[in-house]
Amino acid sequence: MKKTVNQKAWFFVLPVLILVAFNAIIPLMTVVNYSVQETFGDNTFFWAGVLWFEEVLHSDRFHAALGRQLFFTFTILAIEIPLGVAIALAMPRRGPWVSVCLILMALPLLIPWNVVGAMWNIFALPDIGLLGRTINALGIDYNFTRQPYSAWATLIAMDVWHWTSLVVLLAYAGLVSIPDAYYQAAKIDGARPFAIFRYIQLPKLKRVLTIAVLLRFMDSFNIYTEPFVLTGGGPGNSTTLLSIDLVKVALGQFDLGPAAAMSLIYFLIILLFCWIFYTLMMRNEDQ
């Protein structure tokens, strides 16, 4: 489908442009401004050059937060993607149960993020939470407010609970778009289930899985509310992810310079992945 060239289309885009520019460009310029200046809190600013960037890039605190962030993101991707595909494969293709499955599975996606955190907090409390009580009854010492490994396990379980459905829904949408004729052909050829998965389903899933992986990557990189409500970054700093650390520096300590430099580094990482996402998605569409 060829699009016509029409420069007047800019007028259609103008309202969006103004609104988003107000929200994105002005704040971003503020951040850039702070990132190169030093202040002593009396509203006078001095040029500081790249001082804050050097400080942030060399600080152990930033490295540790980034490390935790990457560990978190890759762990949840390694669990959610295969699990989501497996569940989508096992879901019924037609019949009344499809709607029931879709609705129940989508439910966690629509719960406010702070409620997800609060819900898991209550669910995992070692004395009165169902999960915490059960694990302790099994003879495993578990207390997510005191032990870092318990906090991490709870955090990952919560994210799997919250977002695996996204992968399921996307994979399922990809699977139902495969025409029946493909399966009939495979049956005539005597293909085994694994061969059907490898040569019919997986290629069709490639597109949706690209979207799923990248969306989960970006969103887990930005995650703030759920871990903040669940553990508050603790015990100690053991679950302080990048966003939580940034908010601590920016709104908690009001260290404008370092916070701004950190924001920009954070934003550049996101921008890089966003560009990869966009390129992959557009290439998929052209095919």
Is the peptide bond preceding residue 235 cis, with omega within 30 degrees of 0?
A: yes
Q: How far is the CB of 50 from another protein (least distance, A)?
A: 19
Q: Does 107 bind another protein (CB under 8 A)?
A: yes
Q: Does 194 bind another protein (CB under 8 A)?
A: no
> Nearest distance from residue 74's CB to another protein, in Å?
18
Task: Report how far apart the first and last C-alpha atoms of the chain are (Å, whole number).
Answer: 13
Residues numbered 239 to 268 that lie near another protein (CB under 8 A) are: 242-244, 246-247, 250-251, 256, 259, 263, 266-267
Contact flag: residue 213 with another protein (CB under 8 A)? no
User: By CB under 8 A, is residue 70 in contact with another protein?
Assistant: no
Half-sphere exposure of 127 (CA within 13 A, CB side): 1
Q: Does 20 bind another protein (CB under 8 A)?
A: yes
**Residue holding tokens 């800019």?**
10
Q: What does the chain come to in residues?
A: 287
Degrees, nearest 5: CA angle 30-33-39: 110
161 part of the interface to another protein, by CB under 8 A: yes
Among 64, 66, 81, 91, interactor with another protein by CB under 8 A:
91
Residue 153 sits in the site that holds another protein (CB under 8 A): no
Establish if 185 lies at the interface with another protein (CB under 8 A): no
Q: Does 195 bind another protein (CB under 8 A)?
A: no
Q: Say whether residue 9 binds another protein (CB under 8 A).
A: yes
Tell me how far, at minimum, the Cβ of 204 lies from another protein, in Å: 12
74 lies in the site for another protein, by CB under 8 A: no
CB of 244 to another protein, least distance (A): 8
Q: What are phi and psi of 139, to 5 degrees?
A: 95, 10
Any idea of the CA torsion for 124, 130, 135, 137, to the nearest 10 degrees? 140
**Residue 6 DSSP label:** -
Structure tokens at 123: 């669910």
**Binding span for another protein by CB under 8 A among 37-45, 52-60, 183-191, 272-280:** 272-280
Between 152 and 163, CB nearer to another protein: 163
Cα(75)–Cα(67) distance, integer angstroms? 12
59: three-class secondary structure by DSSP: coil
Please state the closest distance from residue 106 (CB atom) to another protein, in A. 5
Question: Can you point out the beta strands (E) in 178-283?
Answer: none
**Candidate list 45, 113, 182, 183; residue touching another protein; CB under 8 A:** 113
Confirm or reject binding of residue 13 to another protein (CB under 8 A): yes
Residue 120 sits in the site that holds another protein (CB under 8 A): yes
The answer to whether 230 touches 152, Cβ cutoff 8 Å, is no
* 138 near another protein (CB under 8 A): no
Q: Is 145 exposed, middle or buried (0-12, 13-18, 19+ CB in 10 A)?
A: middle
